[in-house]
Structure 1
């Protein structure tokens, strides 16, 4: 009996197989036939659950964004214990997710997935982004209204910084004598001081 049918969830077996292949070979480094072989099913069986390889990757990404959003929400903790701590926690959650879920991370951010073609993926991705935006808005609210930077703008900047730390210093070839978490924390600190959101002595 095929392994995928044995545990009663062939669709998830294919997702799990794709996750291993993506982590080892990248999101564009495997075929649907390889995913079928890794799940121990025939290639024809794949098409009963996925229209093609991109559809399979989209499901991997959807599950990843779902995990990611939950992790971000947990890190944010409704702005506790402070707006600054909550904002910094969401940045650290980004690194923690990339480290623990490399296959999901690559499917989400490195596969070139067209989110408009997979609205269910886009919806859950927006849920994760909304957490970071809420954290940024809470921090911006500490400044007088006329001096507040657009929360969505600096949320996007910190998201980009987090992504860069992952790509260059967590999984890339460039090495740093500093842990990725320290690089991100100091980078966020410099950035927030420049916006006036963090005092110079912090």
Structure 2
């Protein structure tokens, strides 16, 4: 049976209700509640007790699955990378006249995800929480590496794959960070503008 959902007052984000706990989904309910609270208040804007209340369970219940609030937040960061991967997976694998166009498209999705999930994105890349989520992060960025590998096979890279990967990720992450930090130069950029910026920056690793 699918757990019932309700909106937590003040967040506008769907939270699992107490039904999730009764059906053995306490861990999932707490993670989803914490995701919603991070979206609304940031990683440091709520307590473990508040996450428990949002999930409809007692303050002691989380300790069945998490030793601390930090451990719960590490799982939220992991969930963030899973969502990032799902977003980037929406970019088609084939059908590109230039394989670097797929790299650009993946970069745009990366930035768009950050813009749509600024608090979650910041948590995902915070030093104290990113290591437990490393595998989920590698899977998300593996899509970018795969696209660059195809570009390499097509002779479109002027540098080795490892260097191209670092450059592409750094560029997408840099634009994403500038965008969500409200820098005026990037504030009004739409997808086309983001793509144009990434294309110009990636020209350094592209083979003419």
The normalised TM-score by structure 1 is 0.78
The alignment status of 1:124 with 2:139, answered yes or no, reads no
CA distance in 1, matches of 2:130, 2:87: 24
After TM superposition, the structure 1 = structure 2 runs for residues 23-172 of structure 1, keeping only pairs within 5 Å, are: 23-75=39-91, 77-82=92-97, 83-110=99-126, 112-115=128-131, 118=132, 121-143=133-155, 148-169=158-179, 171-172=180-181
Tell me the equivalent position of 1:181. Answer: 191
Unaligned runs of 5+ in 2: 1-15
Q: Deviations over 1:27-53 (max 9, x none)?
A: 233221221233232221111121211
C-alpha distance 48-68 of structure 1, shift in aligned 2 (>3 A): same
The normalised TM-score by structure 2 is 0.76
Conserved 8 A contact 1:165-1:183: no
Unaligned runs of 5+ in 1: none
Q: Which has the higher helix share?
A: 1
C-alpha distance 111-194 of structure 1, shift in aligned 2 (>3 A): closer
Larger displacement relative to structure 2 (26-35 or 82-91): 26-35
Instruction: Count residues in correspondence.
Output: 188
Deviation of the 1:182 alpha carbon: 4.1
C-alpha distance 18-187 of structure 1, shift in aligned 2 (>3 A): same
